[in-house]
Structure 1
Amino acid sequence: MIAILAAAAALTLWPQTAAATPEAAWTWTLYGDDTPVVLANEVPDTPNLRTTLECEPGSSVARLTLYGGEAATGMARVTAGEAAAVAETEAARGGGLKLALRTDHPVFAAFGASGRLAVAVGEQRRAIEVPAAHLAKLRRFAELCSG
């Protein structure tokens, strides 16, 4: 009888759990043991990526790739807090865009402090948000990349 009640309770909660699961599966992961250093917004153990930041240790240059959406090329305005930068973009494989940012630039420092970065190319706007629980990974990424 207890097993039947537990199963019924689980089925009652199932639609709520199923709706929350896809978003809850996305996380920020830092891969710092290999070259390049990579910070990825991903669903672990799948090919699903939203964003990657990559660098060669000590290079002070982070390569940002935003997956999905329309491929955008040209000049991007990158902002974080009050800081702004301009970066050239290129199309990423599978759609999206790629650009490079210096890790010693004020915009990257502001990104590390707030976890929020906005990229605008023409009319296209993209945003990255690193939740507070993962900001230490972003700061460690910047530390590993800085020369």
Structure 2
Amino acid sequence: MSTMRTATSAQRPGLRAYEESVGLPFPELVARLREMLGVKLVAYLGNVGSTRPVSGWAAGTSSPGQVDELRLRTAYQIAGMLRERYSAATTQSWFQGMNPALDYTAPARILREQGPADVGGQLLSAAASFALVG
């Protein structure tokens, strides 16, 4: 089964990131997202004012609300897709930069300020476009 998943993931960019975003236990997802984006950006996306809650989420000793968890799972899916092609630094920059595909608004800001269910598709499309075109 894992051989099939690997072949499918190679043919469909972002599929592995999607599978992990929905399948990983939340503490593991936060730990990996923290490695990809840095603890400050994860705290920002998680809608908290300090990095301390992020450590609790990664350790499994606390958890954010349902909407913030969905926001972080969406961020993981986006970051995972971008990491298939780019470095962690480029992925972080993509989240923080004024993106022309998003009316020159930073994707992190959009994801934090709007419901992930409302903007997730738009952000994933912008990330996929960046991953394919650069």
The interval holding the TM-score normalised by the smaller chain is under 0.3
TM-score scaled by structure 2? 0.27
Instruction: Give the number of the structure with larger relative contact order, counting CA–CA contacts within 8 Å between residues 6 or more apart.
Output: 2
TM-score normalised to structure 1 length: 0.25
Structure (1/2) with the larger strand percentage: 1
> Where is the helix percentage greater, Structure 1 or Structure 2?
2
